[in-house]
Structure 1
Amino acid sequence: MTARRGLFVAPFDALADPRVVGDLAAEAEGAGWEGFFVWDHLQYGDRVAEIADVWTCCAAVAMRTERMVFGPMVTPLARRRPQVLARQAASLAVLSGERFVLGLGLGDDWVGEFSDYGDEPDPKARARLLDEGLEALTGHLGGGFRPAPRVPIWMAGRFPNQAPLRRAARYDGFFVIGLDGPSDLDRVVGDLAAHDPADGFDVVVDLQPTQDPAPWLDRGASWVLTRVGPYDLDLDAVRRLVAAGPHAGPQE
């Protein structure tokens, strides 16, 4: 089955306005894109000056679209309170008619995104917090809280690390980062099969706009995303990329 196509959007600088993000999502749906996923960051180094809140952006996307799947990609659960996150996720699922996907992962402290704010900087400790938070979060989303709409969870991980792949296989999807080429995707799909993921499990990859998506399609991924950002974002150029639609060739 051919992979679905979406956008992987950094709400930075020229896009650091939830109204602009909502406009882009509406334009993307009109152009035939099937997903719209928003980065979740507090800071991103010296080259990024402005950043929009991911949850406000997701609400704007929910209100401006009717069919597209969307969500944060990805939220570091270790810095979130699971009960609060469950309420946010459930509300966005209700707001959108259950089109919301919750992307979760370990996060990275490369620009002090954890240590600068007193959050856990050690990745092994964050992994433990992630697993503990997932247990609490899924309990709330599974009926502990009401309303309890369906909220798929996609876990993120960097290729070829096996721990995040094993964790992802217990949930609804795997957003795999750092693939060098389509042959790496073959390995990911094979490794996942050994862990018997549930029917309908999603395998998600993202590409630069300059990369040709064709070799990545029909190789076991259910989603192939085009990355928008993070640096030197020009709103007019982004709009041209969006308007070209998912079937256009590589963009310069």
Structure 2
Amino acid sequence: MHFGVYLPNFGAETSALALAELAREAEKAHWDGFFIWDHILANKNQKLPMIDPWVALTAVAMQTKRIRFGTTVTPVARRRPWKLARETTTLDNLSGGRLILSVGLGEPGDAEFEVFGEEADPRVRAEKLDEGLDVLNGLWRGRAFSYQGQHYQLDKVTFRPVPTQKPRIPIWVGGFWPNKAPFRRAAKWDGVIPLNKHGIWIRPPDLQEMLAFIRSQRTAKTSFDAVIIGARVTLGKTSADIRRSLQKLEEAGATWWLQALYMERNSLEAMRAAIRQGPPKS
């Protein structure tokens, strides 16, 4: 199993430089991944300072050499997919092939879309997400690409250079289990970030059921990641408890554990201390 940290892109001491410093600390402490939320507003009454995660990830790429990194998750419906294709390719090449793109509908719909006069209907956001991923995947190939969708149309467009990673930058899809639509979507790509309907990390029995559903929908024979997000305390209080919890998750099919640092978001020192503890392997 791989281990990463999962941080908000807002907080009292949040800045691109601070996040780059934390990524460097994470690499030193032998974490495998560093993932930042991708919000414009966390809610309609957002007061805390907030930074752009893509600019911050550029700083992360420049300050690290080994660790994988990415957003968790990017609402593709509020992006122009061709602009996102350029950004992701540039960042993947800058980092030597370490980017992971996590995607979803984007929540909350009112803060991320409606407040700016954009379409907040989840059905429309889902359509744009699916079309946007098709466009991304097409433009990443470096060949003339045409697309005729309901929301996006391209005519013989070629993007170069192509990403470092082959066959593409990995795409992880977020969703709430037991809703089936996000997991049918995830089956087309490279990984899944599941939560349950209450927004809590998914438990091993539900993870097994969810992955069985994805396998029933999946045709590709390539590797597939199951990414679990949770606070360290949810794994247990003792080393033995933590080992048992991680073993159960791994046996159920989890390939990544992302440690959420949401509660530490207003203290750079608290996030630094949590990261320096290293992955919860024992």
Secondary structure at the aligned position of 2:125 is classed as helix
Find the aligned partners of 2:122 and 2:263 in 1 and give their Cα distance: 23
User: 1:37, CA displacement in angstroms?
Assistant: 0.7
CA contact (8 A) 1:204 1:222 kept: yes
2:226 aligns with one of 197, 200, 203: 203
TM-score by length of 1: 0.92
Percent identical residues: 38
Unaligned stretches of 5+ residues in structure 2: 143-157, 236-244
**Hey, what does 1:113 align to over in structure 2?**
112
1:51-92 deviation digits (Å, cap 9, x = unpaired): 110101111111111111111111101110011000000000
Find the aligned partners of 2:126 and 2:100 in 1 and give their Cα distance: 21
Find the aligned partners of 2:97 and 2:31 in 1 and give their Cα distance: 18
Find the aligned partners of 2:91 and 2:183 in 1 and give their Cα distance: 26
User: 1:198, CA displacement in angstroms?
Assistant: 3.4
1:189 aligns with one of 208, 211, 215: 211
User: 1:177, CA displacement in angstroms?
Assistant: 2.0
**Hey, what does 1:53 align to over in structure 2?**
52
1:22 aligns with one of 12, 16, 20: 20
Find the aligned partners of 2:232 and 2:64 in 1 and give their Cα distance: 23
1:157 and 2:156 are equivalent in the alignment: no
Give the structure with higher Rg (CA).
2
Give the alignment's Cα RMSD to 1 decimal: 1.8
User: 1:233, CA displacement in angstroms?
Assistant: 2.6
Secondary structure at the aligned position of 2:234 is classed as coil
Find the aligned partners of 1:228 and 1:137 in 2 and give their Cα distance: 30
1:168 and 2:191 are equivalent in the alignment: no
Runs (4 or more) in structure 1 with deviation over 3 Å come to none
1:145 and 2:159 are equivalent in the alignment: yes
Secondary structure at the aligned position of 1:72 is classed as strand
Indicate how the Cα distance of structure 1 residues 15 and 73 shifts in structure 2: closer, same or farther if over 3 A, else same: farther
Indicate how the Cα distance of structure 1 residues 29 and 135 shifts in structure 2: closer, same or farther if over 3 A, else same: same
1:218 and 2:214 are equivalent in the alignment: no
After TM superposition, the structure 1 stretch with the greater mean CA deviation from structure 2, 215-224 or 132-141, is 215-224
Indicate how the Cα distance of structure 1 residues 237 and 87 shifts in structure 2: closer, same or farther if over 3 A, else same: same
**Hey, what does 1:42 align to over in structure 2?**
40
Find the aligned partners of 1:119 and 1:47 in 2 and give their Cα distance: 18
Partner AA of 1:96 in structure 2: S
Aligned residues: 247
